[in-house]
Amino acid sequence: MLTGGKENMQITFVSNYINHHQIPFCEACAGHPGTDFRFIQTMPMEEERIRMGWGLDPHAYPFVSCYYEDPEGCTERVMDSDIVLFGWTGLPELERRRLESGRPVIRVSERIYKEGQWKAVSPRGLISKYREHTRYRSGSCYLLCAGAYVASDFALVHAYPGKMYQWGYFPPVRTYTEEQLLQMKRTDAGGEIRLLWAGRFIAWKHPEFALLLARHLLEKKTAFHLEMVGAGDMEEELHRMAAQYGLGSCVTFSGFLPPERVRGRMEQAQIFLFTSNHLEGWGAVVNEAMNSACAVVAGSEAGAVPTLLRQGVNGVIFDGEDAEDFIRKTDWLIEHPERRRLCGMNAMETIRKTWNAGPAAERFLQFAAHISDPEGQAYVLPEDGPMSPAPIVKPFIKVQELV
């Protein structure tokens, strides 16, 4: 039975499609006593993501329904549910109907001003945000902020006052024995540092930073190997850079790999390089690399980074899109092997203890039960982690120096 709520609470999560990053949370909710949980997929997955290995059969999960196969039944479920969680659905009319019913709605959102908060002054944009968000500020409508800067964006349009909570994405969590960790992160006889970059080869993810780092390490005669997992528009350019810099066998381009194989690469890497800029709403590879006990070097502008990482404690944060600072911070990790090891171990504990689907689902369901039945048992928000109050963090924060 849920704390502070009624039995058999009906919860529906509506989003574009089910994916690897949502399944653990959904399974935790669906398996919770006293919960009737359903995920409604509103559209088939794009071909590009399927080619990347992210395609899933929604019919393989008993808690998933497809709106495009049964719009009437799915609409009825949304309107009848005690709580509805809306991600990005592509169905504004369905969202509006539920919101205007006055029954509880919990939205989950990445940034609305990824390209710059100056866009908040646009009269047309403000009207749109008012219709979609601000007009419901006094109702039973709440926001889960999937990224450190989300609350700041929504505060500009005066939406969800006092009703914004920290959230994110929750990929599957793996556990390791001490012996497994020692084997995974061992340093080879030649002292070679294993570096990994994984993602799409597109401009705002800055894969070229990894090759600039490789050139720097080669010039320093540092023993290392960099693996680049992915593909995309910049692939030819990256291969030209690698040849131009004479990187040879120091760098391996592995193409796109299925999520399971990417996780295997993370387990063997000592340092994970995450170079995305402000257009990265979250960045679930950061969760996965941390869970794999990597020391993560990450740019400050991506949504997951200020939420998950603490400078020099469980990872290293570099300043925005500053390639020189990225190289400096990675150098620091390479030159401080014990701090590198501790960052990886602390990162693993951050994911294992707090930022995973188990605590997220438990906290979410308790909160949902409370807002569904406010006269029930009082609910105390956690101080940190999922469902804790989301702070107003302005974009382009000043990055702390390493000590």
Task: Residue 294: name the closest of 327, 341, 328, 338 by CA.
Answer: 341
Of 276-285, 321-330, 371-380, 385-394, which range is least confident? 371-380
The label of the residue with tokens 């009207």 reads 127
The proportion of the chain whose per-residue pLDDT surpasses 90, expressed as a percent, equals 82
Distance CA 106, CA 256 (A): 34
DSSP 8-state class, residue 335: H
Terminal alpha carbon distance of the chain: 47
Residue type, 391: P
The predicted-structure confidence for 347-365, as pLDDT tens digits, reads as follows: 999 999 999 999 999 999 9
Task: Residue 146: name the closest of 400, 395, 387 by CA.
Answer: 387
Distance CA 206, CA 68 (A): 36
pLDDT tops 80 at residue 332? yes
Mean residue pLDDT across the chain: 93
Overall CATH class of domain 9-170+356-372: alpha beta
Residue type, 49: R
Which pLDDT score, from 0 to 100, does residue 401 have? 86
Any idea where the domains of the chain sit in the sequence?
A: 9-170+356-372, 178-352
Backbone angles phi, psi at 270, to 5 degrees: -95, -35
User: pLDDT band at residue 55, thresholds of 50, 70 and 90?
Assistant: low
What angle in degrees, to the nearest 10, is found between the helix axes of 259-268 and 284-291?
A: 50
Which pLDDT score, from 0 to 100, does residue 46 have? 67
The label of the residue with tokens 């300043």 reads 319
The predicted-structure confidence for 130-158, as pLDDT tens digits, reads as follows: 999 999 999 999 999 999 999 999 999 99
Which pLDDT score, from 0 to 100, does residue 379 have? 84
The predicted-structure confidence for 226-251, as pLDDT tens digits, reads as follows: 999 999 999 999 999 999 999 999 99
Distance CA 245, CA 18 (A): 41
Distance CA 259, CA 288 (A): 10
Domains 9-170+356-372 and 178-352 share a fold: yes
DSSP states along 64-113: EEETTT-HHHHHHHHHH-SEEEE-S-S-HHHHHHHHHTTS-EEEEE--S-
DSSP 8-state class, residue 395: S
Distance CA 365, CA 373 (A): 12
Q: 178-352, what's its fold? A: Rossmann fold (3.40.50)
Residues contacting residue 221 through CB under 8 Å, at least 6 positions apart = none
What is the reported pTM?
0.93
